[in-house]
Structure 1
Amino acid sequence: MAAGLVISAPASGVGKTTLTLALARAWRHRGLNVQCFKSGPDYIDPAFHAAATGRASVNVDSWAMDRGAIAHLVSRGVDADVVLAEGSMGLFDGVAARGVSGTGATADIAEMLGWPVVLVIDPSGQAQTAAAIAAGLRDYRPGLKLAGVVLNRVASPRHQDLVRHALNEAGIAVFGALPRHAEISLPKRHLGLVQAEEQAEIGKLIDEAARFVAEHVDLDAVLRSAASWSPQPAVNGLNVTPPGQRIALARDAAFSFVYPHMLEAWRGAGAEISTFSPLADEAPDASADVCWLPGGYPELHAGKIAANAHFRGGLRAFAETRPVHGECGGYMVLGTALTDAEGARHEMTGLLGLETSFAKRRMHLGYRLAELAAPMPGHRPGARLRGHEFHYSTIIAQPDMPLAVVHDATGAVIAETGSRRGHATGTFFHLIAEDR
């Protein structure tokens, strides 16, 4: 039987990922098997979890997934000693309108699984107020259990004492307090953390984080606070259909935003996946029956993509007879042109008329519910797809036929409809699940 915990915080940027990685690695050093999950639509953190634990991590999402799908995904922790779910944003942050089984908030997952929450609190610029914030989070939703807190970035022993005293007065356990320590800071860029596979020293960084946290946090007390848990049989698994039997998947530093559960579901349904690198000027496998270009950072590599004639020609040849689909960054590469942050315009593959620009950044962020007006690989017209959009590009032109009617989480129709032309389709959202 595993011990289950949720790692959350009052807000983003206070150290959830660092603490999750450090706890996972520290317990692994003690000989425990640790399984991680990520609550919410984050395609970067699961790779860090895998680096820390040696086990694949997946996303669980209460807005896009039903309870059966979440139970199915979490059941992979059945053979673990400790199971950690890392939250997104603040503990109760989600959308205003309920989705399939919740609002997308970390609290939904904690309550659904019955796991206590360890809060990461950054008391910078405050002292006793940190206890008021923790107490408010503890009492905000009945049925949610707060295990305790870990303080991060405390300024001095006196500062720590003030905050600890206030938390003790409020009846909230303090598992430890971390001074500022630059050596365990994870580098960031505009869509989140720099990806794990791009950091050659990620193993050493996680080891240092584990050493530092073990020095300042009572690991045994944290573990004792966890809930004994064994997965319940899932009535339903994931509602994910592979886009084809043989899938050519673009995979490199420019095309890396793929939800792990999607790839697992495709393989679980019998699909074969072959990867290729557009940045290495590779074309999709000619024997595949569908090509999938995920999101990533094409804006950081636009010049190279534009110059890679073998990739571009091979993709165009593939699309003459077989479907090609792009998500977000992949959609942009299927378009006519992409203007980078410096204002340089780069020719893309031209399979769609989409033209995008990063010269004037505009953030697009949120859950998406799309009803397909035409088929896309793996999904029929009329299918209702749930996904998430996060990018900073501006649409200059989107002249092709719309792929779908797309709503945000409030039900409002948005302009990012996706496109279709010939065998090519694309969306700005990353697919998470199809409504049953």
Structure 2
Amino acid sequence: MTPPGTPPGLIVSAPASGTGKTTVTLGLLAAFRAQGLCVQPFKSGPDYIDPAFHAAAAGRASFNMDTWAMTPPLLAAQMQVAMGADLIIAEGSMGLFDGVARPGESGTGASADLAALTGWPVVLVLDVSGQAQTAAAVAKGLALFRDGVTVAGVILNKVASPRHEALVRVGMEAAGLRVLGALPRKAEISLPERHLGLVQAEELPRLQAIMAEAGAFVAAHCDLAAIRAAAAVSQMPSQPSPAIPAPGERIALARDSAFSFVYPHLLADWRAQGATILPFSPLADQVPDPSATVCWLPGGYPELHGPRLAAAAAFRKGLQVFAETRPVHGECGGYMALGQGVVAADGTRHQMVGLLGLETSFAKRRMHLGYRMSRPHQPLPGLTGARALRGHEFHYATIVAQPDAPLADVRDANGEPVPETGSFRNMPGGGRVTGTFFHLIAPAQAQTETTP
């Protein structure tokens, strides 16, 4: 049974990316928070950037819910962070039914899978620019496409005029769909784009002002009472879920604007097992805490901070000394930082730590995106017993050189091999340096669909 005190929830989704889901989600979070409600945000799918904005709008950390990588017990465990909140708002990814072709632990990664599992109704955000009554046909198709997925209503986005809104509402009424809000065009609260999508939340100097503007905008044009009333308590049963093993007892965690992509559920699980997390900043030329038993470098944007990292001699030397006797692991940006060098988009090469032979370049951008199933040849710190790991890869780097031994057999969600295998080195003093381009989400339980 669902534990008492679990708040009702909603999923904000859409027919496609780029319709305004994030802006609407942030506006709802900020608007309900301004009313004095405690709102717990979630993000469907593997994403680091949107949850940082969610946290700024809601005032509490946003957690990921990923049906391809997470088992039902792990998804249910994620919801425990919402205990004591008044409302859950989860932001979907891509279009409502968009996922991979072959299911993983709980589904294909589609927002609809999460809606079906949790029972949370869906609020559709529709970009109605360039159409009127036809928008209702799209919305009705989404509402009827899959049993077990309930569409509570629609929020119209980019409405051109009162006449335009009236025409769209006529179509929605005929389709039997409730209009929960109608947002006129307003570019001022659009969030700027960057090479991995949205900029990171901490990089916006007007972040809180933007959140307040989004909240006021949504409150002025949406029926907040109706939206809250449409939420439903999840019917997912609470099940025991094994914690994701901590990489060590005392974890030196690189943490600054160059290394900020780490899933909150990993940190929560590590802490729940009694691990102590010891943050340090490579950009500030800090070294891992000497009392740490392992060092973990998350993903981020080392290529945008190349000059500072290249100048951080104390960090570089300190990590080299640390790695002689203890495990060091890097994910994506952290992996690149462990290599010999990174070539920035303008062709400038920046020296990195040099613990691995990896050389990467952003001079010619090529997107690498998708779920990953990894079967390590050498264990990652703390994951000695894991036969396979589920994760996600998203970057624009090109491998120029990778002379070290491959770390794992890595495959995409269809079971096809990918060349980004990660790599490792055993150090003379007994330490081991490992790195992957994929970000770990959880150890795999169901493993048959991508077996080589």
Class of the TM-score when normalised by the shorter of the 2 chains: over 0.9
User: Is structure 2 residue 346 aligned with structure 1 residue 346?
Assistant: no
Structure 1 residues 410-425: aligned runs within 5 Å: 410-422=414-426, 423-425=432-434
Distance in 2, matches of 1:377 and 1:156, equals 57
Match of 2:411 in 1: 407
How far did residue 282 of structure 1 move? Answer: 0.9
Q: Is the 8 A contact 1:240 1:262 kept in 2?
A: yes
Gaps of 5+ in 1: none
Q: Is the 8 A contact 2:119 2:235 kept in 1?
A: no
How far did residue 232 of structure 1 move? Answer: 5.3
Distance in 2, matches of 1:238 and 1:183, equals 44
Letter in 1 for 2:370: G
1:128 paired residue among 116, 133, 147 = 133
Secondary structure of the residue aligned to 1:137 is: helix
Distance in 2, matches of 1:97 and 1:365, equals 16
Q: Is the 8 A contact 2:247 2:381 kept in 1?
A: yes
User: Is structure 2 residue 159 aligned with structure 1 residue 154?
Assistant: yes
User: Is structure 2 residue 71 aligned with structure 1 residue 66?
Assistant: yes
User: Is structure 2 residue 26 aligned with structure 1 residue 17?
Assistant: no
Distance in 2, matches of 1:270 and 1:57, equals 22
User: Is structure 2 residue 125 aligned with structure 1 residue 116?
Assistant: no
Q: Is the 8 A contact 1:245 1:289 kept in 2?
A: yes
User: Is structure 2 residue 381 aligned with structure 1 residue 377?
Assistant: yes
How far did residue 236 of structure 1 move? Answer: 2.5
Q: Deviations over 1:192-232 (max 9, x none)?
A: 211112223211111111111111111111112221x1675
Match of 2:9 in 1: 4
Distance in 2, matches of 1:179 and 1:233, equals 40
Q: Deviations over 1:385-407 (max 9, x none)?
A: 00000000111111111110001
> Structure 1's 345 and 405: CA in aligned 2 closer, same or farther, altered over 3 A?
same
Letter in 1 for 2:352: M
Distance in 1, matches of 2:383 and 2:260, equals 22
Match of 2:392 in 1: 388
Q: TM-score, normalised by structure 2?
A: 0.94
- Where do 4+ consecutive residues of structure 1 move more than 3 Å? 230-233
Letter in 2 for 1:340: A
Q: Is the 8 A contact 1:362 1:392 kept in 2?
A: yes
Match of 2:288 in 1: 284
Secondary structure of the residue aligned to 2:283 is: helix
Distance in 2, matches of 1:214 and 1:393, equals 41
Secondary structure of the residue aligned to 1:292 is: strand
Gaps of 5+ in 2: 427-431, 446-452
Q: Is the 8 A contact 1:75 1:231 kept in 2?
A: no
Distance in 2, matches of 1:395 and 1:129, equals 46
Structure 1 residues 203-282: aligned runs within 5 Å: 203-227=208-232, 229=233, 234-282=238-286
Distance in 2, matches of 1:272 and 1:202, equals 30
1:186 paired residue among 174, 184, 191 = 191
Letter in 1 for 2:95: G
Match of 2:177 in 1: 172
Match of 2:437 in 1: 428
Letter in 1 for 2:208: G
Distance in 1, matches of 2:95 and 2:235, equals 26
Match of 2:321 in 1: 317
> Structure 1's 19 and 381: CA in aligned 2 closer, same or farther, altered over 3 A?
same
Distance in 1, matches of 2:243 and 2:106, equals 14
Match of 1:199 in 2: 204
Distance in 2, matches of 1:213 and 1:132, equals 24
How far did residue 315 of structure 1 move? Answer: 0.8
Distance in 2, matches of 1:233 and 1:170, equals 34
Distance in 1, matches of 2:425 and 2:143, equals 51
* 327-336 or 25-34, which deviates more: 25-34
Q: Is the 8 A contact 1:71 1:231 kept in 2?
A: no
User: Is structure 2 residue 39 aligned with structure 1 residue 34?
Assistant: yes
Letter in 2 for 1:389: E
How far did residue 13 of structure 1 move? Answer: 1.6
Q: Deviations over 1:263-292 (max 9, x none)?
A: 111111110001111111111111111111
Q: TM-score, normalised by structure 1?
A: 0.97
Match of 2:100 in 1: 95
How far did residue 414 of structure 1 move? Answer: 1.0
Q: Is the 8 A contact 2:126 2:135 kept in 1?
A: yes
Secondary structure of the residue aligned to 2:136 is: helix
Q: Is the 8 A contact 2:336 2:358 kept in 1?
A: yes
Q: Is the 8 A contact 2:119 2:234 kept in 1?
A: no
Secondary structure of the residue aligned to 1:45 is: helix
Q: Deviations over 1:306-364 (max 9, x none)?
A: 11111111111111111110000100011111110001111211111111110000000
Percent sequence identity is 63
How far did residue 426 of structure 1 move? Answer: 0.1
Distance in 2, matches of 1:38 and 1:326, equals 24
User: Is structure 2 residue 142 aligned with structure 1 residue 137?
Assistant: yes
Distance in 1, matches of 2:157 and 2:398, equals 37
Indicate the RMSD between aligned Cα atoms, in angstroms.
1.3
> Structure 1's 72 and 124: CA in aligned 2 closer, same or farther, altered over 3 A?
same
Letter in 2 for 1:9: A
Secondary structure of the residue aligned to 1:320 is: helix
Secondary structure of the residue aligned to 1:79 is: coil
Distance in 1, matches of 2:183 and 2:362, equals 38
Secondary structure of the residue aligned to 1:301 is: helix
